[in-house]
Structure 1
Amino acid sequence: MIFSHISDTHLGFVQYHSEERENDVYTAFDEAIDTSIKDHVDFIILAGDIFHVPNPSGKAIVVLANALKRLKKNNIESFFILGEHDISRIRATPVPWVYHNLEFSKYIGNGKPIIYKDVLIAGFDKRRKAEIESFEDDFSQIDADAKKHQGHKILVLHQGITEINKFAGELNSTDLPSNFTYYAMGHLHEQELKQFSHLGGPLAYPGSTELTSSEGIKETQKGFYQVDISGQESNPTWIKLDTRPQFSIKTSVQDISSEIDRLSEKIKLFSRKPILELNVTGEILDSGLMQSQISRLTDQTLRCFWKHVSKEQSNGSVFVNKPLMIEDEMYRIAKEMLGSTDKANFAINELLPLLSRGNIEEARQAIIEDFERFKKGVENATVS
């Protein structure tokens, strides 16, 4: 028996206001679904952040519906939980619930285990840091249920594990129930596969199916896991997806011409126009000449950015010249003004996206929740 573990598809994500980038997200997702059908998997798990926003576009809704319809036609069941991008902060029915109600897919994010083809599957929707303590009792109960089951047991979560990413970590691996034979994770966008001695099976992050703005521009691979549970152990195999090339190059003003010649030849090998970032060191005496060199790549790339990096910052953050990478610059300014990485993350990654979409009520709720976390932290500090 084989199943596919897919996560962080972020359907509806649009980068650079580009229709091509929106379609890249759909293409990667469709490839994961079609590959799963071709390989005759028994079922599919979607481990959260199915959509990029809680109120996705009609196109994103249709793409998911068509994919689930193809699975149904091939007698492949699918199961899903919700990530933070799927959940509205105000009371609203999550869009993926529509597919559950129409029996296109099955929701498993409430912690209630189901049995499918002798496999126990249980999942929990994303919980924010203020809610993490509530996992303790839920994990204890689900671990007891898993211990009683004789076949394979899959736990689906959309949380960060500290041992894998200390900055995005919300749980330690030791917090997890130990009686599962596979831990299908979502939330972290990089592929990771770990085997902890205190857990009953591998813990796997397939990573996102396409690069998003939070990851920056870099040369990387995207994909998903196919997991063979025919035997007593779970054996995951990572399947690479054919995504648009993206890479960031460091060069100097003196070498810019030869570097662009080299890149121009490299780009000819790609089937799709790449996204390129050039980090240029050295003194720029003629910005017009620099821009004319960069423009040689314009027709060969979907987007071509360049940054001027000072000597002092060549190993750290960068000053942005042309064109402005607005997300980087806003985060840098927020961190400088607020004096806190946590506050900058909240302002840029949580509050700003809500306000930019006009979700005033959700933004208000986010501020209230952030204040409650702050207040609780002060109370705990006072007690200690």
Structure 2
Amino acid sequence: MIKFIHCSDIHLGANPYGIEERFEDMGKAFLQVVRHAIDEKVDFVVIAGDFFHKKNLNAKTLEQAVDLLEPLKNAGIPVYVTEGNHDMATYTNVYSWLDFLSQKGYVYLLKPDVLDDGSIGLTTWHDDIKKGSIIEKEDFFIVGLGYPGATASTMVERLSKQIPENTKKPIITLLHSGIDKFVTEGMGGLREEELEPVIGKSDYIALGHIHNRYENKEKKYFNPGSIENVKVESLSRRKENNDKGFYIVNIDKLKEIKIEFKIISIRNTFSIEIDLMGYKNNIEDIKNKILSEIQEKNICSDEAIILNIKLIGTLEDKSTMLDINDIKNDIKSNLNVIYLEILNMLTSNQENVFNVNEAQNRDEVDKEVISKLILDEGFGENDVLKLLPIILKTKELASEGQLTIDKQEGIDITSLIEKYIINEA
């Protein structure tokens, strides 16, 4: 019998919206994984990618990572990790910070490597150089397939041929990729049938990359989702998969698998939709409506919360302009909020109301709204394809505190234009 923890998308170093407390939140979430692993005396921990949020770390993030991994190392609990798209080495540097942690003995980094003939393949783990893709222990194999990227289908098919087969030991395969029927547009992923070669050789497929939990016990793949809400935009209105946590997995000698999803405690994050249909454009009435909805939904916490509000409907005078800052200040004076975002989706008439699917997350809504705004400004469909990624990337940089709007520095929009327009032309 082997017992292990499967988690993914830890995103240490993430600092959404430039809020220091959110940096600490990511560490606190993983600390709960660490404590449970030690308390339950698991045999090992697997992390299916994106242990870090960025390829280039600052000293504070590295220190946080070492402090969190040290107790596992001292307890003799190995950590097996594969790379995700956030923490793999940059194109100009083949050595990543996960490589560093592996060399220092904090983790075993399992990932595909460049073979002698120049192709990408799987190699046996070598303790002397602390490098490899497949590690064999007395009771199990672990295989790291890493992040296959845009060539996921071809890469997974090729690498699956090198996974050990006909073994009496359970094979646990780590893969940082989503299954397309569970991912949102633009995230990429494998079709389930494209995963079949891996399914046929694995007893447990530990997935990562997609931040909401999903699983298929028959096909043997499991995705725990991220252990914290990295972005409020990633929240969907589907309540069944918004809990954050990790899997506790037991595999017996007959390769029978029992899993339990362990929910962890994280900062409360709420996303609500408020319909202002028929309301007059009176800021006090609108603020009272919003506060009433917040109270009705019992949104409160001793700890500061993250709150996302979506305003929909059509006001009586058909106007769509609101003083969002005034509304925010009023909410903050009545509620303990660490981050508040209000999305104004009011329309001037019912014919132009966006048909937002209840399962849509904030990223999808943003794309729809921004695309319409670009078209409304007189641009064509081809312009939307060029301008949309620039606007979304600028928004992402701003939300992560990486974009400075300084009179001396300004916004480095030139590089974004070069990347998304000039280079794509």
Q: Give the Cα separation in 2 of the matches to 1:259 and 1:278.
A: 9
Match of 2:70 in 1: 69
How is 1:350-365 mapped onto 2 (pairs within 5 angstroms)? none
Identity of aligned residues (%): 21
Q: Which residue of 2 aligns with 1:179?
A: 201
| Equivalent runs, 1:125-274 vs 2, <5 Å | 125-130=146-151, 132-142=153-163, 145=164, 147-165=165-183, 167=185, 168-176=187-195, 177=198, 178-196=200-218, 199=219, 202-213=220-231, 215-217=233-235, 220-231=242-253, 232-253=255-276, 254=279, 257=288, 259-261=290-292, 263-264=294-295, 266-268=298-300, 270-274=301-305
Letter matched to residue 193 of structure 2: T
* Mapping 1:52-131, distance limit 5 Å: 52-87=53-88, 88-110=90-112, 111=122, 112-130=133-151
Provide, for residues 290-311 of structure 1, a one-character-per-residue CA deviation record: whole Å limited to 9, x for no partner. 9358614444211223233224
Match of 1:295 in 2: 330
Asked if structure 2 preserves the Cα contact closer than 8 Å seen for 1:155 and 1:183, the reply is: yes
- The C-alpha deviation readout for 1:346-383, integer Å capped at 9, x for no partner, is 8845998699699x9xx89x959x97xx89xxxxxxxx
Would you say how many aligned residue pairs link Structure 1 and Structure 2? 352
The one-letter code matched in structure 1 to 2:192 is S
Distance (Å, rounded) in 2 between the aligned partners of 1:94 and 1:330 = 36
Q: Is the 8 A contact 1:217 1:277 kept in 2?
A: no
Q: Is the 1:331–1:344 Cα contact (8 Å) retained in structure 2?
A: no
Deviations, residues 169-221 of structure 1 (Å, cap 9, x unaligned): 4322222321211000011111001134xx4xx20111011112374455732
CA drift of 1:102 comes to: 1.1
Give ranges in structure 1 of 5+ residues lacking alignment.
Answer: 318-324, 376-384
Q: 1:284–1:116: structure 2 CA closer, same or farther, 3 Å change rule?
A: farther
Instruction: Specify whether residues 293 and 64 from structure 1 end up closer, same or farther in structure 2 by C-alpha distance, changes over 3 A only.
Output: closer
Aligned partner of 1:332 among 335, 356, 370: 370
Q: 1:119 offset after TM fit, Å?
A: 0.7
**Structure-2-length-normalised TM-score:** 0.71
Please name the residue that 1:315 is paired with: 355
TM-superposed deviation, 1:165: 2.7
How far is the alpha carbon of 1:288 from its aligned partner?
6.1
Between stretches 113-122 and 93-102, larger displacement belongs to: 113-122
Supply the distance in 1 between the matched residues of 2:111 and 2:44 (Cα, whole angstroms).
16
Residue 20 of structure 1: CA displacement? 1.2
Structure 1's 106 and 267: CA in aligned 2 closer, same or farther, altered over 3 A?
A: same
Please give the alpha-carbon distance, in whole angstroms, between the structure 2 residues aligned to 1:83 and 1:97.
Answer: 13
Counterpart of 2:230, as a letter, is T
The alpha-carbon distance between structure 1 residues 292 and 12, as it changes in their structure 2 partners (threshold 3 A), is: closer
Offset at residue 223 of structure 1 (A): 0.9
Distance change in 2, residues 1:226/1:287 (3 Å) = same
| Equivalent-residue separation in structure 2 for 1:273 and 1:264 (angstroms) | 16
Cα deviation for residue 4 of structure 1 reads 0.6
Corresponding residue of 1:381: none
Structure 1 residue 271: deviation in Å? 3.6
Which stretch has the larger CA shift, 349-358 or 185-194?
A: 349-358
Q: Which amino acid is 1:174 matched to?
A: E
The structure richer in helix per residue is 1
User: Are residue 305 (structure 1) and residue 328 (structure 2) matched?
Assistant: no
- Could you list the runs of 5+ residues in structure 2 that have no partner in the other structure? 113-121, 123-132, 280-285, 358-362
Classify the secondary structure of the residue corresponding to 1:163.
helix
Aligned CA-pair RMSD: 3.8
Q: Which amino acid is the alignment partner of residue 175 of structure 1?
A: E
TM-score of the pair, normalised by structure 1: 0.78
**Counterpart contact for 1:183–1:204, Cα < 8 Å:** yes
Q: Which amino acid aligns with 2:265?
A: D
CA contact (8 A) 1:260 1:297 kept: no
Distance in 2, Cα, partners of 1:48 & 1:186: 6
SS in 1 for 2:28: helix
In 2: Cα distance, 1:315 partner to 1:349 partner: 24
Return the offset for 1:313: 2.9
Secondary structure, counterpart of 1:104 in structure 2: coil
Deviation of residue 241 (structure 1)? 1.4
Q: Would you say the 8 A contact 1:330–1:348 is kept in 2?
A: no
Secondary structure at the aligned position of 1:99 is classed as: helix
